[in-house]
Amino acid sequence: MKAESALALWPPAASAAAVETDHIILGFTVLTLLLTVPVFLAITYFALRYRQGEEADRSTDERRSVLIEISWMLIPYVLTLFFFGWGAKLFIASRHPPPDAMVVEAVGRQWMWKFQHPTGQSEINDLHLPIDQPVRIRITSQDVIHALYLPALRLQIAALPDRTTEIWFKADRTGTYRLYCSEYCGTDHSVMDGNLTLMTQAEYQDWLTHGHAQQSNVAAGRALYESYGCAGCHDGAVAGVKAPGLAGLYGRAVHLADGRTITADADYIRAKILNPNENRLAGGGKQVMPSFRGVIRPDDLDRLVGYLKATDRVAEGAQR
């Protein structure tokens, strides 16, 4: 059966371990209320009953009960120890994957996630996985500390520079869920998110064969567009920065400051990214864009150009 969270106000649970986590939190919350509410009620009653000026019997009660003294310490101790053991069992189990677990390599960097499947396919900010299959995620960081958070699985794992950490899970509910970076990692931390898509084994194999190639390069290019800060200026998100919009640019005629008119093809876009001062636009203001030569990798540059080419097709469709 598919896992279902008992708490409708919480995110949907996509694994049995996620449901068990909900039960631990709910149970411990109830226990905490049972232990604290009576104490606060008693404090309130005694504060009112024996306040200054109130006529009340303040004589010393000589009665003693060792059983009561021990009980109100031992019973809460045993109950809280039970929840500690329950949580420890779940935590330890999450650190010991079964031998047949599928290994997915993950890398975090400002401000994107990259996932690589065992068969070699890679994704940017999206993760497609099969249900009813143990999955082991090995993760590291290329720059600062990040943390991959999967709410539907109730899992979080730190991504640390020069170190590999890992966690595993077995999802049992299909659907598309969100993933986030839950460790503040810089200016665009809030956009370092993506989607976790859980599918049947057959759907996953079909995605590996057909679906991946159609979406991975464009999705990767969009992630790079955001992670390198292009969106901040060219999409108008940064106040005071007037940069030309790039949607629909690919293949269009571009007028240059020296009077020439050229076509914004792949070579032009690559050259502008690597050397923004080359082929200055007519009517352009002060050049503030930095050079990405030596910063962006050649394969990332190709993905970024591919994304801009895709936005040109989207813009054409909108005009029609």
Q: Tell me: the pLDDT tens digits for 249-302?
A: 788 888 887 878 888 888 888 888 888 878 777 766 666 678 888 878 888 888
The C-alpha atoms of residue 15 and residue 5 are separated, in whole angstroms, by 9
What pLDDT score was predicted for residue 315? 39
- Distance in angstroms (rounded) separating the CA atoms of residues 243 and 254: 14
> Quick one: average pLDDT of 112-120?
87
Is residue 269 classed as helix, strand or coil in its secondary structure?
Answer: helix
Predicted local distance difference test score (pLDDT) of residue 320: 34
What mean pLDDT is reported for the chain? 82
- Start-end of H helices in the chain: 16-49, 66-94, 201-206, 212-227, 230-234, 266-274, 298-319
CA Rg, the chain, in Å?
A: 29
264 within 8 A of 251, measured Cβ to Cβ: yes
pLDDT digits (tens, 9 = 90+) for 118-146: 988 888 888 999 999 999 999 999 889 99
* pLDDT of res. 164: 93
Q: In this structure, are residues 94 and 181 in contact, taking their beta carbons and an 8 Å threshold?
A: no
Given a cut of 90, whether residue 196 has pLDDT beyond it is yes
Lowest mean pLDDT of 159-173, 195-209, 278-292, name the range.
278-292
Mean pLDDT of 34-49: 89
Report the distance separating Cα 137 and Cα 164, nearest Å.
10
Mean pLDDT for the stretch of residues 202-224 = 75
The model's confidence at residue 149, banded by pLDDT at 50, 70 and 90, is very high
Q: What is the mean pLDDT of residues 183-190?
A: 86
